[in-house]
Every structure is written in structure tokens, then in C-alpha cells.
Amino acid sequence: MGTTKQAPAPHTPTPWRIVDDSELTIADAHGGSAIAYLNMDPNEKVRYADAAFIVRAVNAHDDLLAACKDALRKLDLVVMNAMITPSMLGNGSRAIGSYIATVDALRAAIAKAEGK
């Protein structure tokens, strides 16, 4: 018998925001608590900056992932066409190599964002 993978539970709805209380709570789109941010750094500015960074990353995640996937689709086409017609990029194989490196970086970033 094979095992079936369960879909991951959905995360707390975005956008998230910081609730300025003693714990620097990060709230979800509906005002509920997404996480109570418990950074033990004694510097309050660092704790707030870390919480703000988490909120920015979470709120930007879906848009950045979609933009990376769109860019990857378009660059894949450019690379495939350039391999057929190298003069298309102007300076030949060096330019193709740069595009391939960017495609590889996009694939890695997408996989990381998707938890793969």
C-alpha cells in the first residue's frame, strides 16, 4: 500500500502587520494573531526591525514568486531561441551563458520559496 501525501495546511492569511504590544505580535489580515514574535535581543530597535522584516517577506512572497515564475518562462524562451539563433543576443555564447545563469538562479529561488 502506498502512502498519500497530504497537502500542507494553509498559512495565516496575508497581509500581515505588526501589532505594537509588549511581544511585537504579528497579526493576520483579519487582526488575529499570526505569531507572537519572541526575539530575545535586548535591543528593541533590532526586535522591531526583525519583526518588520518578517512581515515584509511574508507580504511580498506571493507576488515575488509569481514574478519569478513569469520571468523564468520568458527567459526560458529567450535562451531556447538564442541557442537556435545565437546572434539574437548580440555577443553570442557569453550572453547565452549569462541568461542561463539567471534562469538557474530563478529556478533555485522558486524552489526555495516553495520549500523544495
Is position 91 within any domain?
Answer: yes
Instruction: Kindly report, residue by residue over 50-68, the tens digit of the pLDDT.
Output: 888 999 999 999 999 999 9
- pLDDT for the residue numbered 83: 67
Is position 5 within any domain?
Answer: no
Instruction: Kindly report, residue by residue over 86-114, the tens digit of the pLDDT.
Output: 565 565 566 677 888 899 999 999 999 99
Domain that holds residue 108: 17-113
Is position 89 within any domain?
Answer: yes
Tally the domains of the chain: 1
**Segment (H or E) for 18:** strand 17-19
Is position 88 within any domain?
Answer: yes
Look-up of cell digits 548580440: 90
Mean of the pLDDT values across residues 70-94?
74
Separation CA 98–CA 91 (nearest Å): 11
Q: Give the highest mean pLDDT range of 1-15, 21-35, 93-107.
A: 93-107
- pLDDT for the residue numbered 72: 95
Cβ-based burial of 70 (10 A; exposed 0-12, middle 13-18, buried ≥19): exposed
Q: Which residues contact 68 (CB under 8 A, 6 or more apart)?
A: 106, 109, 110, 113
> Under a CB-based contact definition with an 8 Å cutoff, are residues 24 and 18 in contact?
yes
